[in-house]
Amino acid sequence: MDKRIAFVVNPSSGPRKKENIVDVIEKNMSGKTPFDILVWKDKNNFEEIRKQITSGKYTTVVAVGGDGTVNEVAKNVANTNIVLGIIPRGSGNGLARTLGIPQKAVEAIKRVETGTVKTIDHGFINNKFFSCAAGIGFDAHICELFASSKTRGLLSYVTISLKQFLTYRAKEYTIQANNQTITTKAFLIAFANAGQYGNDFYIAPQAQMDDGLLNIVILKPFNVFSACDIFVKVLSRKAHKAKSIVTFSAKEFKIKNESNTAIHFDGEPGAVESEIMVRINPQSLKVIC
């Protein structure tokens, strides 16, 4: 089958002063590869877009938007021969940054035609797809609040996080993995396929996207002085060396918590659950990088 590209555009993603991303795509494609632009107009209904991208017409589907858009497109092309491309337009752009995809739209568009194809793993948390990272606890709580915020962007995310940091309390979890059971209090527990959440915020710098494993990161209760150490180490890709962080890897995890807790997958909030199953699906997603 000859190469044909579908660009799935989320019109609500992108900087406040938006260029017309459809025009940018049309002007910067080389003309050598046929393509269609599909605009995802209804955030709560992906069905029509899903039918088009899985119709067999396209060899490559490019998510044009933030991490939520990438997640929606990726879960529909995983375990197929369709290749995922990304033009990052969100606040974090976790998968795009991990894959080395340029953050500028024009350069990312060129990468769609010239980049190489790599096969990576993806994960499930309670059967919900994620490509980069999922988690429970503080980060999932912030994702819930950020999703309902009227203002977007990194500044809004940081502002919400700082306010909640002063009042959020660690919870007790029981973790089963690698034939072992651990009971511990945790501020958050992250499940990392990629090393970062987004914005080069590396919670699991040792994670590899093609090793058939997930890295679990347990952030234990800490004081204000430890918080500074954690923050510095996360920004310098040394989170696993922080005293308050425990990390290990496995193919699957089972977690129970003392009370229902929020979940996030690739930064998207999910249903509150008291029991969580997390597993890896190895070599399941083809991506342009």
N-to-C CA span, the chain: 21
Task: Evaluate if residue 74 carries a pLDDT over 90.
Answer: yes
Token readout for 67 is 């991490």
Q: Is 248 helix (H, G, I), strand (E, B) or coil?
A: strand
The two beta strands, 171-177 and 252-265, are antiparallel
Task: Evaluate if residue 167 carries a pLDDT over 90.
Answer: no
Q: Is 164 helix (H, G, I), strand (E, B) or coil?
A: helix
The two beta strands, 268-288 and 83-88, are parallel
Task: Evaluate if residue 141 carries a pLDDT over 90.
Answer: no
pLDDT at 6: 98
Task: Evaluate if residue 1 carries a pLDDT over 80.
Answer: no
Please name each of the domains of the chain with its CATH number.
Answer: 5-115 (3.40.50.10330), 128-280 (2.60.200.40)
Phi (first) and psi of residue 258, to 5 degrees? -70, -25
Q: What percent of the chain has pLDDT over 90?
A: 63
Residues 6+ apart with CB under 8 A from 12: 43, 65
pLDDT digits (tens, 9 = 90+) for 216-256: 999 999 887 788 888 888 888 899 999 899 999 999 999 99
What's the Cα-to-Cα distance from 257 to each of 167, 182, 274, 276, rounded to whole Å?
19, 12, 6, 9
